Amino acid sequence: MREFALIDRLSQRLANRRADTRLGIGDDGALVAPSAGQELAITTDTLIAGRHFPVDTSAFDIGYKALAVNLSDLAAMGADPAWVTIALAAPELNAGWCDALLDGALAAIGDASVDIVGGDTTRGELSLTITAIGCLPAGAALRRSGARVGDLIAVTGTLGDAAYGLQCWPTRDNATRDQQFFIDRLARPQWRPGAALRGLVNAAIDISDGLAADLEHVLSASEVGARLDIDTLPTSESMMRSCDRETRLGLQWSGGDDYELCVTLNEAQLDRARAAIDCPLTVIGEIEAEIGLRAFDRHGVRWNSDKARGWDHFA
């Protein structure tokens, strides 16, 4: 299939949902008109076959994950997702494969008011670059630099499942129920509605490179430290059945690909935040004045985390 035939094919499936989308796919650029008093949050991620997803990942799952990880970035900023562009590099353009890719992208968007307004295609090794744009009231963004001494540290969902999913990937044709759960968490991460936490939390980040690595970004930006209770890290039932304690903690500490939110907030806001986010929000520690990230078990013994570090693209 040729490039412009593909664009026409996909355009027929994409009806704009938003009144502030003035012009979508079909011109040299998109036109959008955010409301007065709004700021735009903009994020871009590139996913490359063999590095960010296994080379034999289905087109549906590639499309799903590519959208979800970008929408998760907007969630961490407290933005309502609004617009997306998709740039695809592929060895060839196959109509059925591209349809499945779009199916996955639309499934990740779900009922959210998000328009796909443009993109690009080129021949090359398989990769996908997504730019996602969200809206939020001016001055209301959640940032990494807002953590305060005494804040609770909390995370949504459960941790470590996607990292274990990568280990389970070779079993996918004959996976057990638990293995399939982990594989699905890797392939189809669930982005959280972070916009619901505006005004309730002081700092936020999404967990893409591992809890420790991403929380350290918050600590650095906020010039504070943290003490974590390693035994409070939220754990799925499948993880409890499948891994011993040290394996589990290593995956949860540094495995990455969770795309859950890690936030800091005043204890007085905890119940409101839990009600607003409409998913589990587990307290795992507290912000301290002493610089650095420290983890202790339920007995107060410091946990050795030196061997468990987060993802670094250039390490």
Residues 158 and 116 in one domain: no
CA distance 283 to 37: 33
Cβ-proximal residues to 167 (8 Å cutoff; 6+ apart), any chain: 182
Q: Which residue has the tokens 């759960």?
A: 181
Assigned domain for 274 exists: yes
Element (H, E) at 87: strand 80-90
Range of the domain at 240: 144-296
C-alpha radius of gyration, the chain, whole number: 20
In the block, residue with structure tokens 């969630």 = 75
Q: Are residues 202 and 269 in the same domain?
A: yes
Per-residue pLDDT of the chain (315 residues; tens, 9 = 90+): 666 777 777 777 787 889 999 998 888 999 999 999 999 999 999 999 998 999 999 999 999 999 999 999 999 999 999 999 999 999 988 889 999 999 999 999 999 999 999 988 889 999 999 999 999 999 999 999 999 999 999 999 999 999 999 999 999 899 999 999 999 999 999 999 999 999 999 999 999 999 999 999 999 999 999 999 999 999 999 999 999 999 999 999 999 999 999 999 999 999 999 999 989 999 999 999 999 999 999 888 998 866 444 444 434
Q: What is the C-alpha to C-alpha distance for residues 130 and 66, in angstroms, rounded to an integer?
A: 7
Annotated binding site: 28, 43-45, 52, 73, 119-120, 144, 206, 208-209, 257, 311
Residue 116, domain CATH: 3.30.1330.10
In a domain, 308, yes or no: no
Of the candidates 150, 116, 119, the residue with the CA atom closest to the CA atom of residue 133? 116
Same domain, 171 and 238: yes
Sole residue written with tokens 């600590």: 219
Contacts of 299 (CB under 8 A, 6+ apart): none
Residues that constitute the known binding site for ATP: 119-120, 144, 208
Domain count of the fold of the chain: 2
Q: Could you tell me if residue 243 is inside a domain? A: yes
Distance CA 306, CA 223 (A): 21
Decide: pTM greater than 0.85.
yes
Residue 301 falls inside a structural domain: no
Q: Are residues 104 and 173 in the same domain?
A: no
Separation CA 164–CA 169 (nearest Å): 9
* φ/ψ bin of 107: left (φ > 0), alpha (ψ from -120 to 50), beta (otherwise): alpha
Backbone angles phi, psi at 143, to 5 degrees: -130, 165
86 and 160 both lie in a single domain: no
Q: Which residue ranges are tagged as binding site for Mg(2+)?
A: 28, 43-45, 73, 120, 206, 209
Residues 177 and 264 in one domain: yes
Annotated binding-site residue numbers for substrate: 52, 257, 311
Q: Is residue 84 a part of any domain in this protein?
A: yes
Claim to verify: residue 88 and residue 175 sit in the same structural domain: no
**Residue at a domain's end among 137, 157, 172:** 137
User: CATH code at 277?
Assistant: 3.90.650.10
